[in-house]
Amino acid sequence: MFKENLNVKKIREDFPILKRIINGNNIIYLDNAATSQTPLQVINAISNYYKTTNANIHRGVHFLSQEATDLYEKTREKIRAHINARKSEEIILTSGTTHSINLVANGFESILKKGDELIVSELEHHANIVPWQMLSEKTGALLRVLPMKKDGTLNLDSYKSVLNNRTKVVFVNHVSNALGIINPVKEIIRLAHKFDAAVLIDGAQATPHLITNVTDLDADFYTTSAHKICGPTGIGMLYGKEEWLKKLPPYQGGGEMIDQVTFEKTTYADIPHKFEAGTPNIAGAVGFGAAIDYINKIGFDFIESHEKDLLKNATDQLRKITGMKIYGDIENKVPVISFNVDKVHHYDLGTILDKMGIAVRTGQHCCQPIMDFYGINGTVRASFAFYNTHREVDMFVNGVKKAVKMLL
């Protein structure tokens, strides 16, 4: 029997949306892998920016412009410190993980040639597959797949067999968004570097739950989105080692990313500005910085401990339901449970849960290759956060039981 952590009740006061009534029931929000909820501290930071500081950055000599610039650049430094990058110049502010991945893939178009090879894991979100497929088609590089095993883990023996001197880029998620499994990215990076291949880690699902140290990982690129870690949508970050960012060409052209512009030739600004064309999402960056402050104040020791308890409680209860199949049901994972019940369609189950005020995700979770591997067309995914409670776990499990009884 799990006891409620007294800290959670206080934490939940920061999230006004958790007081909403949906279909006559208190909302139980279990779709955190899609987007986390936003605390008042972040909402207020964004509101205060618009009320007191709103101005364009880097271009103005007036007070508001300088103040906005300071806020924007402070977020860059907060991200650097949070992920333990060596230099703030290695942090590119983007619109999110998808933008970050496309930026890197676009840059490698000028580096790759026919016969080079790329390696993608079978566990990837479509955002970490499609840009590389497009790159492969443009350059003639061969896209190879690092396969998964039945338990949802990656087959490292197969990975070792496909790595070779033609491998130029490896891209893999730190945590699977569909299964919650934590991948051995440090070992994946170490093995790739034996062949001088660059490695991009999609960290969108890891950063809400784990402390990320890009220097310790020795990652060449690492990405995440603010809305996964209690921040706003439309803002994210790309970490890239300085030597790689200097090699890659700009992704977009426009203001801010230039050094000199003439009709004969344009030269580009140094990193990070080379990759930040146009007016950025300044308010989003302010919110991103506030979100980093917030989750660090909560503390990752508490986050990991509480979420581990939530996951164990939910998993233990769900396993007792007749016909239950949990995909990626292993120890080393974050609080994500992806499941089906025999003879019950995932969409129907999710719809009935919604009528009870319980928000889960159904479908393929932008991971069709995983679904194809298991021979299914989707799952129900319940994903927890540090502001969820054991009472919500119990109500969710009871909701699943009721829904199954209605559908069978």
Active site residues: 366
Q: Using an 8 Å Cβ cutoff, are 103 and 109 in contact?
A: no
Q: Which residues contact 222 (CB under 8 A, 6 or more apart)?
A: 83, 174, 200, 201, 203, 212, 214, 238, 239
Which of 282, 394, 296 has the alpha carbon at shortest distance from 39? 296
Tokens, residue 235: 């803002």
Instruction: Yes or no: say if 268 and 293 are a contact pair by the CB < 8 Å rule.
Output: no
What is the C-alpha separation between 88 and 357, in angstroms, rounded?
42
Residue 167: both structure tokens together: 């491998």
Are 56 and 65 spatial neighbours (Cβ–Cβ below 8 Å)? Answer: yes
Using alpha carbons only, what angle is made at residue 179 by residues 174 and 185, rounded to the nearest 5 degrees? 20
Question: What residue has token string 């006004």?
Answer: 16
Can you count the helices (H) and strands (E) in the chain?
14, 17
Contacts of 393 (CB under 8 A, 6+ apart): 2, 310, 313, 314, 317, 384
